[in-house]
A = this chain, B = another copy of it.
Amino acid sequence: MFHDARFGLARHVTLPGPLRLDGGGELAQVEIAYETYGTLDAAGSNAVLICHALTGDQHVASTHPITGKPGWWARMVGAGQPIDPARHFIICANVLGSCMGSSGPASVDPAMGVPFAMRFPVITIRDMVRAQAMLLDHLGVGICRAVVGGSMGGMQVLQWAATFPERVQAAVVIASAARHSAQNIAFHEVGRQAIMADPNWRGGEYYRMDDPPAAGLAVARMAAHITYLSEAGLTEKFGRRLQARDAKSFGFDADFQVESYLRHQGISFVDRFDANSYLYITRAMDYFDLAEEHGGLLANAFRGTNTRFCIVSFDTDWLYPTSESRSIVHALNAAGAAVSFVELSSPFGHDAFLLDVPELNAVVDGFLKAGEA
């Protein structure tokens, strides 16, 4: 446990299991790396759980220990922001399957004394949420004032509301979906195949080598990164502009700025992420289909709920387009749940939930304060 340079507390806990998993297996113990900001009030009523996206982590509002960059959601979480340690006890945990300290394929299998690698069990979004619930129990948090997340974080929020409705007063689901579409699965499969095609992947047994499957993971990241941006945003940011040279090279260097940008995204990603974790987390997302768990009808996931919902989409997000949010809203309406829904306009595509979109902060701030009044 160390005190973060800003205001977070970075912690790690090993919780006794077993955690039974949707796939039939179990984890004998569950490691969770997490951060907290603020203080739980005497009534234990001010907890806000933040759920992170595919390649996110627990450093929601603290400097990332590897990249040195600010927390990934410092625009939303911090002093004077909608989620504020002055009034909230904020918790963000690295998801199960990831690589920033929580149990995942890079963790040492206690039974064998070596990293799990591909012996780590395939997990689901619900398994991630169950692990978070164990953490909240450990922290003495019964009910969350809000559970908040974007993208895969939003899937966890929906799963929280479906699995532990009595523990979620308010749910904020941003740029997300209640199931992965065929196109979503297809893009993830390209990424997985890129990793598994890299000879350095070695069936996942690369942890004791010096050469992880960096090239494959970089290609996976590049393909995914395109889906996070809008066509209009890419055109505005890069268009067909060339690199510093004044003319085309008539070669295969990165002539266009967008090529150089993408290569950088791929290369820098491999410094902070584990290829096997990428396989496991994309698989969990592909398996996600909240309706399927509830007899094929999404509304069934929310019947009788007292949770208030806030659903936000972005007009240029083609990864989880507004139509996906609208399906969630229809199901919530059918279930008689309290829901507010807004489609925000932004040029940034899916990535908008991480970027400077003042309307998003206004929406989340207003929704949370309405529940605290």
Contact = CB atoms under 8 A, between A and B. Distances in A.
Interface of A: 22-25, 118, 121-122, 179-183, 185-187, 189-190, 192-194, 196-199, 215-216, 218-219, 222-223, 226, 229, 231, 234-235, 237-240, 248, 250-252, 254-256, 258-259, 262-263, 266, 279, 283, 286-287, 289, 292, 318
Given A179-B240, A190-B219, A190-B223, A185 B23 contact: no
B218 A263 contact: no
Nearest to A222: B190
Given A189-B259, A194-B219, 6 more contacts: A181-B231, A182-B234, A182-B235, A182-B239, A196-B252, A197-B218
A234 B190 contact: no
B197 A199 contact: no
A219 B198 CA distance: 11
A219 B197 contact: yes
Q: Which among A22, A23, A181, A187 has the greatest number of chain B C-beta atoms within 10 A?
A: A181
Question: 4 tightest A-B contacts by CB?
Answer: A23-B250, A197-B215, A182-B234, A122-B250
Contact of A122 (B229, B251, B266): B251
A76 B157 CA distance: 50
23 contacts: A23-B248, A23-B250, A121-B250, A179-B240, A181-B235, A182-B235, A182-B237, A182-B239, A183-B234, A183-B235, A185-B256, A186-B226, A189-B222, A190-B219, A190-B262, A192-B252, A194-B194, A197-B198, A197-B218, A199-B199, A223-B223, A252-B283, A256-B286
Given A181-B231, A199-B199, A287 B248 contact: yes
B189 A234 contact: no
